[in-house]
Structure 1
């Protein structure tokens, strides 16, 4: 059946597949909800968005996404609180960052109304897909790509904006062991490292696989020039605790302006934790590990929220991090997730209720 609400046409599935899903045993991002939002850019403007049954997207073999990689995305989550309200976390920050990525990749910016109204309507239609189990959420993937055709190496003339959702459990289970990268780089000055471009992640897979083959879970990326400074942890921002000070690399052309990262910095400062945004050298991390001053390392991002690092390898030497009774990572993760799920007050105005 088809209904039009707030200028968004909704074409619902004949029968939901939700009864086929075991919500108590969810992997991350491998089961998809009934519907998706689709909006096309053509003739120089964004068309009216529609909500359609989740299904394959048909593209011409000459679509420029296949040849020149104009593709960007965001990662978000929706939660249900004890009253059954649907909640988002800083969604307009995702819209702003998506458009920063769009500008860098010469993709037309998506209007706020299409992003926010489309997202909230999609969550209204598929609200039953939001898990309520502890640690679970509805992962939301907005993305945009070049759908216009042509082999000419130039921006496309048509684009597609899509939002898909996936009920998901934890991204990582337990702590991870990482390898500090000495050869490969995630991004370079003047490049697209600060954008959530699909190619950034594709380029990570090879060095990450090399690390996995050596018994590590992820790579700690270092700067492209000297490999003297740590920058990100896999697909996440990275925090390092030396003594009682929390360190994180400043954002740049190479480092993503993470929404979880910004939230952690604010929460930590308000909790009386000393936070410094500055370059962090590999040498000082190794020296702190040897002296016992290195207390914690953790990745931060939407998917995992906070992922503690159990140890790291560098120059054929492994270093284990101590087991702390009340680590910053656990404190900060609890504060953020309590805000996200409406288990605590939100003094920052980050929580967004879908109505």
Structure 2
């Protein structure tokens, strides 16, 4: 696998994009994006587990039952969630407008929205924006897409890789947004992956589901799950490789690359948590089963007490042990070891279920770093899991206290 760069859609064959300001945001920043495949593409996705779902989610679930799609229209600023029948009517009208401009069926158009819940999309601005954006779609539009989907994000989140399948160069590129309301089982996050790989819809859905489980579903910023979260992957086959329709060697190569893209985007989301100063990585090793490893990792990375301690570079290992204790994972505390690690070094702070003597000043220095790793060894099996999150800061409260103002 070759890492191309941190730019979206870079060199992915037959994909184009655009991002513009349609006047949906008061700030005047870019707020409308489109991703377009010149060829029909198979599509797979996962959506929020929140029982309250935005109109775009309900519409996408229905449209993705079709074999192919060609466009995704995305707006930031208006969630179009909890807007009743009018919200669903507006979502359908948006798809119809995009389809008309691009000469597609409305069922070939997918849609994403992000922003304030309960606020309807201003349809006059949206329809004018659709006309404008469909006229400026280009192969160089990926970076504009990444900017237009942002809300409280401070940085764009993009990555592109290249692999070789069947002697063909295949690219996979992803873009995401997410900064707050981030919790496992999808979060206030949008993720869009485009690839020119030739893969069946069945195999694409299989690999996407697995990849999301180990990436976006293993991050937590603040424990909230939103109404609009989704991850959509489009594959248009333009690379010309032999169709991947089984779990063969080519499927494994594709999966490894897709996993890399999704994990990188997930880490970028976690690091850009609202007000965050640190990326926290929790590695759980040697668990009795996969479920225990995942539960322990997510429990620690989701703990506000752990996150607050790491913001202050306080090596308070008790909060971490407490978090795995209520994780409902199956482990024996008398076997558990815990180390703190960063680029500044590594220190053992807890061993075989007991406190040990360690230099707190050294430990504090190690975790006073932009990237902190909490290494938890359960010493009870061979399963592992990794979760990502961020510290909890004063800035988080400020951002969310002023979100609608």
Shorter-normalised TM-score: what interval? Answer: under 0.3
Q: TM-score, normalised by structure 1?
A: 0.27
Q: TM-score, normalised by structure 2?
A: 0.25
Which structure's residues are more often helix, by fraction? 2
